[in-house]
Homo-oligomer: A and B are copies of this chain.
Amino acid sequence: MHTLLILSSEQKTYRSIIGSANPPDLKIISEPSDECDILLGDPSLIRRALASLPNLKWVQSIWAGVEPLMDPALKRDYILTNARGVFGQLMSEYVLTYLLARERKIFHLRQLQTEKQWDDSNNGTLRSRTIGLLGVGSIGADVARMAKFFGMTVRGYTHSREESADVDEYFHGDSLMEFAGGLDYLVNILPSTKATHGIINADLLNALPNHALFINVGRGSAVDESALVEALTQNKIAGAVLDVFQQEPLPKDHPFWETPNLTITFHTAAPSLPEDIAGIFIENYRLYIEGKPLKYRVDFEKGY
């Protein structure tokens, strides 16, 4: 018999979905207990519970990002798996939403409508635009596939292998500035690690064309926030769309709220939908009871 603790604001939904799949030999509990060997939940809640779970063997994060569990002061004697594979379409839709909002000038058109101004000047298309992906993991590959569907040119910057055939040109290591030159769109999808900390800095922003739009759906730590405020204020780039920040919720006195050409969303680009995440858990639970390697295992050294 295994004992699963669920720590999430959507605990009831998870309990219902997982319960109805009848996973064998599994008892579900709601409070930390010595008997608990499996934990499913939100990494920020898991972090607080770790010390009171002496027999923990496996943690399934409901998020892709597991930074709260990377603190070296925390125990690491368990298998950590995260959520992957389900965010690709959601992230692609988010990126596409803001690419199209820009090409189709929808905020401008909405303003013209309120002024009863008919203006039939042409607008743009995604076809032949160049998009650069900072990070080409499974989400990056999905964004690349979407970009190719619309006839865009796709560049990818990655520390990993060149796995997506939808990327037209790969860049690695020192070629970051070369990667940025000439982009219409720069999209950050990198996880939060030491190597990616502050990678979007003044040098990178200066390497982008003035008309470029920067979209961050990775992690806030990748951005030098004051360099971005300066680039936007001085029109070095045309705009930015940020879903993630160094501090979330974004503090009321943060300069981003008043920075020109900056769109803020609330870490909602790719929500963890319980029906998706429960599916990952159930699949991994089957592997767990069979003693097989779990999917989406996190390497504590790499941080992803």
Contact = CB atoms under 8 A, between A and B. Distances in A.
Interface in A249-287: 249-250, 252, 257, 263-268, 271, 273
Nearest to A271: B122
Nearest to A262: B113
A110 B271 contact: no
Nearest to A97: B100
Interface size of A as a range: 35 or more
A296 interface: no
Interface in A10-63: none
A109 B100 CA distance: 16
B123 A268 contact: yes
Given A120-B267, A265-B109, A93 B89 contact: no
A274 to B, nearest CB: 10
B104 A93 contact: yes
B97 A127 contact: no
A89 B252 contact: no
A96 interface: yes
A150 B120 contact: no
Given A101-B97, A121-B268, A151 B116 contact: no
A129 to B, nearest CB: 11
A177 interface: no
A79 interface: no
Contact of A257 (B113, B249, B257, B273): B113
**Closest CB pairs A-B (n = 7):** A118-B249, A97-B100, A120-B266, A122-B271, A97-B104, A113-B264, A116-B257
12 contacts: A89-B127, A93-B104, A97-B100, A97-B101, A97-B103, A97-B106, A109-B263, A110-B263, A113-B257, A116-B257, A120-B249, A120-B267
